[in-house]
Chains A and B, each alone.
Chain A
């Protein structure tokens, strides 16, 4: 017979352990705390922006175990044991910009910059899966990130430049 385990109970607070940008954090959080607010208010990683808080604008996009997700549509407690990457984790340790960030700067892929962290994280996930996307594919994948001031033309140009550089980088590694 199986050993009797303790039945699970409802809780209002929970101890979680999350790796964010390579650093391990252990913290007690209220269960209703959104992952976006956990990153911003508890860990003070304010690079992840919060726009609409219902999953439409894409500002709060982070990588959860490598997959792009809306951090406003999950609870911090659900990220327990997972690896989160935010915009703060993109640049190298010596503060060199990530090739995607560099490309956005060079191609003027941002103006006010509010939507940019979410877009960069989306682009990171997109290029990981498809290293040479067409204009149409870029526009389709970016449709979940709303930009209200830059306009998408320069963003698409930036993604193309970033993709090209990352492909060259990948070839050099090989």
Chain B
């Protein structure tokens, strides 16, 4: 349980990091918080020849409110976001979601951007980014590009990042003040990866019906899943019992057939997803503004 040998560099400038990443792009990994990456190294499931530690890059250390979204740089730790008064004020859902990640000791090191880049389908932040239809900023020596969440997560622990590219910023769209939001997950033990989780944002109309719904899931497929059929089931309704039942039914169908494992069968995950859908939608709807 010791990491394999590797070559290490901890540059202070983003430009330097991108050059290092470009030099041996196929065999270089970026180290940020390391709370998912170092276990992979310890278990020798990953063995890159080169590691670029970005923790000293001060220019990536920012939480900023931009036009319509909150931008978080690649070295910002989850705990810093949790404690940020700006985030508390502008994006309480993000804090609610982060509190569900691992344990306090993990969040003290783990980064928001790193969790997105790692793209674990059972992780909280990829599901939130999918729910909010957020974006990521990717940079390389050749320039930068912005990728939508729905195009970024391509498979289990896989993303649209190409060799030599680095994820430098994640953009979480702000939520309308009248919208209600909620996040829930079910894990067997506190801090474990959840079996299933869901983030929901519901925007009401003036006459108290649901104008638009956003919901996304973790743990039900190889990537975070947006529940478009669930959104359709509640849009235009008042989130009454029949609408919630319809949403739960639609949600349970979203669970991928290959999601059965030692922790839960597919059937159990389906039931769980349906029930969690009802609860998260109810909680979000109760939190809406008037």
> Footprint of B on A, CB under 8 Å?
7-12, 14, 30-32, 34, 37, 53-55, 58, 61, 64, 67-70, 72-75, 77-78, 122, 125-126, 140-141, 143-144
* Bound-complex Cα distance A34 to B10 (A): 16
Report B's interface with A, CB cutoff 8 A: 1-12, 16, 19-20, 34-35, 38-39, 41-43, 50-51, 53, 55, 79, 102-106, 108-109, 189-191
Closest to B105 in A: A68
Contact B109 A144 (CB under 8 A): no
* Contact in complex: B38, A143 (CB < 8 Å): no
27 contacts between A and B (CB under 8 A): A7-B19, A8-B16, A9-B9, A11-B9, A12-B6, A14-B8, A32-B2, A32-B5, A32-B41, A54-B39, A58-B103, A67-B79, A68-B104, A68-B105, A69-B108, A73-B34, A73-B38, A74-B34, A78-B53, A122-B104, A126-B104, A143-B191, A144-B102, A144-B103, A144-B104, A144-B105, A144-B106
Q: For residue A133, give the distance in angstroms from its CB to the closest CB of chain B.
A: 12
Shortest beta-carbon distance from A64 to chain B in Å: 8
Point out the residues of chain B lying under 8 angstroms from A7, CB to CB.
16, 19
| Known contacts A73-B109, A125-B104; A55/B39 CB under 8 A | yes
Complex Cα distance A73/B110, Å? 10
B232 CB to closest chain A CB (Å) equals 37
User: How far in angstroms is the closest Cβ of chain B from A35?
Assistant: 10
Contacts of A70 in B (CB 8 A): 35, 105-106, 109
Residue of B nearest to A52 (CB): B1
Residues of B close to A10: CB separation below 8 A: 7-9, 20, 50
Q: Give the residues in chain B near A122, CB-CB below 8 Å.
A: 104-105
Task: List the A side residues contacting B41 at CB < 8 Å.
Answer: 32
CA distance in complex: A30, B190 (Å): 35
A-B contact count (CB 8 A): 106
Within the complex, what minimum Cβ distance (angstroms) separates A51 from chain B?
10
- Judge whether A31 and B105 touch: CB under 8 Å: no
Whether A54 pairs with B8 at a CB distance below 8 angstroms is: no
Q: Are B8 and A31 in contact (CB under 8 A)?
A: yes
Q: Specify which chain B residues have a CB less than 8 angstroms from the CB of A73 in the assembled complex.
A: 34-35, 38-39, 106, 109
Cα–Cα distance between A10 and B19 once the two chains are bound (Å)? 12
Q: Would you call A54 and B108 a contact (CB within 8 A)?
A: no
A68-B9 in contact (CB<8A): no
Distance between Cα atoms of A31 and B10 in the complex (Å): 11
Question: Which of A11, A32, A78, A144 touches B4 (beta carbons < 8 Å)?
Answer: A32
Q: How far is the CA of A37 from the CA of B10 in the complex (A)?
A: 21
Which residues of the other chain, A, contact B102 by a CB distance below 8 angstroms?
55, 144
A68, B108: Cβ atoms closer than 8 Å:
yes
Give the CA-CA distance A34 to B51 in the complex, in Å: 14
B194 CB to closest chain A CB (Å) equals 14
Contact of A37 with B105 in the complex, beta carbons under 8 Å: no
Of A31, A54, A69, A143, which is within 8 A of B109 by CB?
A: A69
Given contacts A58-B105, A68-B104, A69-B109, contact A32 B6 (CB under 8 A): yes
List chain B residues, Cβ under 8 A from A32: 2-6, 8, 41
Q: Are A55 and B35 in contact (CB under 8 A)?
A: yes
Closest-by-CB residue of B relative to A10 is: B7
Query: Given the complex of chains A and B, what is the CA–CA distance between A92 and B256 in angstroms?
Result: 56
Q: Are B109 and A74 in contact (CB under 8 A)?
A: yes
Counting from the closest, the 5 A-B pairs by CB-CB distance are A144-B103, A143-B190, A10-B7, A54-B39, A31-B8
